[in-house]
């Protein structure tokens, strides 16, 4: 058995559960009850968004991407990607509604055709929504929006 397989930070998709939880709040358009937020955070290993390498096709649409696992990202830049449980709970119960993850629920667009780009948390990217979240322009799955990666 390979020991790294027992560590959630070695999973390439480890940063998506937090994006899904944040997007749940955006979908229901209200804060989560504290008990529910605490229950979720206690049961799911949560990691912040790791760098994503996007490859743009001839039309400037993200046609392929490579997601770094939290362990790979930590090796590359020395930063821990583990989410702060208390901060996540406070974020989930606050009345502020987040923008859903554009990388998880949309396609990167607006890139220079035939190029690639490394997107890190805090970078801005244009996405075409693939899921109709509440709020213009996200209600239309064909809509485009500039989002901050988080």
pLDDT recorded at residue 138 = 83
pLDDT recorded at residue 120 = 92
pLDDT recorded at residue 1 = 63
pLDDT recorded at residue 51 = 94
- Model-level pTM? 0.84
Domain limits of the chain? 3-148
- In degrees to the nearest 10, what's the CA dihedral of 18, 21, 25, 26? 60
pLDDT recorded at residue 70 = 94
Go through 93-119 and write b for each residue having 16 or more CB atoms within 10 A of its CB, e for each that does not: beeebebbbbbbbbbbbebeeeeebeb
Reduce the DSSP state of residue 51 to 3 states and report it.
coil
Other Cβ atoms within 10 Å of 72 Cβ, number: 17
Q: Consecutive 10-residue runs of the chain (150 residues): their mean pLDDT?
A: 74 89 91 96 93 95 93 93 96 93 91 95 92 80 86
């Amino acid at each position: 058995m390979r020991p790294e397989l027992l560590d959630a930070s070695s999973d390439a998709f480890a940063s998506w559960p937090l994006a899904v939880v944040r997007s749940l709040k955006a979908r229901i358009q209200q804060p989560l009850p504290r008990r529910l937020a605490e229950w979720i955070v206690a049961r799911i290993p949560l990691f912040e968004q790791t760098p994503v390498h996007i490859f743009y096709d001839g039309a400037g649409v993200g046609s392929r991407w490579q997601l770094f696992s939290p362990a790979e990202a930590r090796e590359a830049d020395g930063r821990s990607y583990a989410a702060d449980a208390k901060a996540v709970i406070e974020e989930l119960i606050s009345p502020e509604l987040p923008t859903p993850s554009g990388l998880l629920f949309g396609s990167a667009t607006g890139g220079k055709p035939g190029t690639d780009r490394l997107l890190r948390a805090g970078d801005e990217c244009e996405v075409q929504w693939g899921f109709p979240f509440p709020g213009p322009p996200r209600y239309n799955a064909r809509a485009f929006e500039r989002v901050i990666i988080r």
